[in-house]
Amino acid sequence: MKFLDEAKIFLKSGDGGPGSLSFRREKYVEYGGPDGGNGGRGGDIVFEAVDSLNTLIDFRYQQHFKAERGHHGMGRDRSGAAGETVTIKVPVGTQVLDEDKETLLADLTEVGQTLTILRGGDGGFGNAHYKSSTNRAPRRADPGWPGEERWVWLRLKLIADAGLVGLPNAGKSTFLSAVSRARPKVADYPFTTLYPHLGVIRNDDADFVLADIPGLIEGAHQGAGLGDRFLGHVERCGVLLHLVDGTQEDPAAAWRTVRHELEAYGDVLADKAEVLALNKTDALDEETIRTRKQALAEASGREVHAISGISGRGVKDVLRLLQQHIRSYRAAEAEAEAARRQAVDDLAASWHDD
């Protein structure tokens, strides 16, 4: 299945049904009076996050979604039926943005989370609604209120616990295939990975999800190579695993290139915890590994781990370190969510006291 992480779609909720202009006509009932029912309410447009999808490819073939209009009212005080709601199923991690592509309308991050983005128009009143002691035979029936319509952008940001970053051919896809059952394409040319992959990793009886994104090159934030559009898929990660190809002459320069692109993308990635690893050590002798680890450590100011996705060297230790960062990140997120809910409860309590 082709991966698609961005789509523009048109939405329109249903118009309200018109009210009925009707009078009771029945034998032996001299003054039947008005009996026109109200029109039905138009259908809503609702987004729902589901776990059975992982791409927005469906929206390449259908870009227009329109809810059913409300049914018209009828005589004998019969109200029209409401229009059917249109529920649009999207992958977990989908953001809904306004047409300007900047205003965030919703962020669907949990399975089953829903958002009613457009509400259907109200149905019009029938003439029975307007009868009164002074207006016994009203001849007024209202049309339904129109529904809402708008263009929106859908943007998918994968839900992963850790993300893989690095230059093209740093060994990210090989590493992912070695530690999980994911099978991304692996080849000896740049930009083998053209779209993100997810792999579920089980290590020491704990599971976490690792995301592999296409490699970055210098100038990616300005559109060079595949650009930085896929960096959004690691925004939700708790930690980044930065792989540097140990077979190149200057691993420090490779690290600087990727760090510059992360910082140009924004603080959301530049400030994340980072585990730095010198990869492809199976192709190097111990003296070269030691020299290049030292150069990379001096340039980055971080601990450098020597690993190999092919031979498995150092992989377990790196996975354990990722798990530690993920646990810390989850704990901080839970604490922040608890504080947010407490603030909401305190605010509600203060309004109640007032």
Using alpha carbons, list the distances in angstroms from residue 130 to 22, 137, 140: 12, 9, 7
203 is in an annotated binding site: no
251 is in an annotated binding site: no
192 is in an annotated binding site: yes
219 is in an annotated binding site: no
167 is in an annotated binding site: yes
170 is in an annotated binding site: yes
65 is in an annotated binding site: no
Please give the distance of CA 309 from its chain centroid, rounded to a whole number.
30
Closest to 6 (Cα-Cα) out of 74, 79, 93, 88: 93
316 is in an annotated binding site: no
Cβ neighbour number for residue 171 with a 10 Å cutoff = 24
184 is in an annotated binding site: no
282 is in an annotated binding site: yes
87 is in an annotated binding site: no
Structure tokens at 136: 């016994």
Distance CA 344, CA 353 (A): 14
166 is in an annotated binding site: yes
309 is in an annotated binding site: yes
172 is in an annotated binding site: yes
279 is in an annotated binding site: yes
Alpha helices in the chain (DSSP H): 172-179, 251-265, 267-270, 286-300, 315-353
326 is in an annotated binding site: no
Alpha helices in 65-202 (DSSP H): 172-179
Instruction: Kindly state the DSSP code that residue 34 receives in the 8-state scheme.
Output: B
Angle formed by the axes of helices 315-353 and 172-179, to 10°?
90
Do residues 19 and 142 make contact, with C-beta atoms less than 8 angstroms apart?
Answer: yes
Distance CA 299, CA 287 (A): 19
283 is in an annotated binding site: no
> Can you spell out the DSSP letters for 282-344?
GGS-HHHHHHHHHHHHHHH-S-EEE--TTT-TTHHHHHHHHHHHHHHHHHHHHHHHHHHHHHH
132 is in an annotated binding site: no
195 is in an annotated binding site: yes
Taken in order 227, 251, 193, 110, is the CA torsion positive or negative? negative
Do residues 265 and 192 make contact, with C-beta atoms less than 8 angstroms apart?
Answer: no
212 is in an annotated binding site: yes
Binding-site residues for GTP sit at 166-173, 191-195, 212-215, 279-282, 308-310
Annotated binding-site members for Mg(2+)? 173, 193
Task: Give the annotated binding-site residues.
Answer: 166-173, 191-195, 212-215, 279-282, 308-310
